[in-house]
Amino acid sequence: MPCGAAAGCTLKRILVTGANGFVGSELHCELVRRGYSVRGAARTAHPGRNPGSCMNEDGEDSREFAVINDIGPETDWTECLQDVDAVVHLAARVHLMNDKANDPLAEFRRVNTAGTERLAHMAAIMGVRRFVYVSSIKVNGEKTGEAPFTEADEPAPEDPYALSKWEAEQALWRISREAGMEVVIVRPPLVYGPGVKANFLRLMDWVNKGIPLPLAGVKNKRSLVARDNLVHFLVRCLEHPAAAGETFLISDGEDLSTPELIRAIADQMGRPAWLVRIPPRLLRAGAAAFGKQGMVDRLCGSLQVDIGKARQMLEWSPPVSVCSALKRTVEWYLGGR
């Protein structure tokens, strides 16, 4: 149900932070395509990478950018928030494998917690009606057992990044209660798609190079979310009245084991999947000896989310299948990026 400016929606101008990023660039374009007036906040005043078209109904790329060099407790968002009806806050200090900060927790809190609180406080003062915050499934925890995570679970953040996101969520609910601004929290798992980096890109490199992977014996299940599905859901969170005041877990709705994911990537590449069977307990023991336990935990452990609330409350279903999303991602990878 499109609800952009062309359709006369009361939410007409949207601020997207992190608008040059992996998710933000595509969300910025999608909102323009739907007829919204969109302002992107980013470190540079020009579009970042984006594989798609950003044309509105008049055939124009109407994206607008405002430069924000740093996010923290003293950031001045006044220019960005002028005449804005809603905010989608994607910009964040992301989880780093080898964090060089002297005090990682303090830095995560400065950007993700205090920075988010500052933006939301100014947004409320300037009359923003709805604030959509992209948090992380890591707020729920690092792994699941027999049951998937749900929105009703007690948060259990384990690392500085997840803790800073959880604290930001609490600050947003406090501002919402005090100022009346509508808040929506979205906690996605790993996001993939054309332009993906980090662990997912590394996995594609391994498959493409034919590196034998000792994961044939892994029997886990993990939820992922394609960027297209996440963007579609974020638009739904802007448009649907029932989203206000709610937290949502989101995924593709098709959970895969690590071997299934590797085989699916290999199939899209037209390559064999070189999987070797080594007991997971031996993998973990070897990883611990070399300081790689976190990587093995992500490859061998389960992390599932239940998206039933999003399906029922917002009448939402993932529009893109895992197969289609992986196909697009692999095409981008093989195309030279």
pTM, 2 dp: 0.91
Helix ranges restricted to H, 189-257: 198-208, 227-239
Is 333 labeled as catalytic in the residue annotation?
Answer: no
Residue 69 and residue 62 in contact, taking contact as beta carbons nearer than 8 Å? no
Residue pair 95/139 in contact by the 8 Å Cβ criterion: no
State the pLDDT confidence band at 7, using cuts at 50, 70 and 90: very low
pLDDT value for 92: 93
What is d(CA 235, CA 231) in angstroms, rounded to the nearest whole number?
A: 6
Q: With 70 as the cut, is the pLDDT of residue 47 above it?
A: no
Reported as a single tens digit per residue, the pLDDT across 90-148 is 999 886 655 666 788 899 999 999 999 999 999 999 999 999 999 999 999 999 998 99
Q: What b/e readout covers 47-73, taking b as 16+ CB neighbours within 10 angstroms?
A: bbebeeebebeeeeeebebbebeebee
pLDDT band of residue 280 (cuts 50, 70, 90) is: confident
135: closest CA among 151, 121, 122? 151
Q: What is the pLDDT of residue 66?
A: 85
Give the active site residue among 36, 161, 192, 333.
161
Mean pLDDT along residues 179-183:
97
Q: pLDDT tens digits, residue range 223-238?
A: 999 999 999 999 999 9
Q: Once rounded to an integer, what is the mean pLDDT over residues 303-317?
A: 97
One CATH from 1.10.3720.10, 3.30.420.40, 3.40.50.720, 3.20.20.210 for 5-192+224-253+304-320: 3.40.50.720
**Which residues on adjacent β-strands are paired with residue 275?**
213
Mean pLDDT of 149-177: 96
Q: What angle do CA 230, 238, 254 make, to 5 degrees?
A: 25
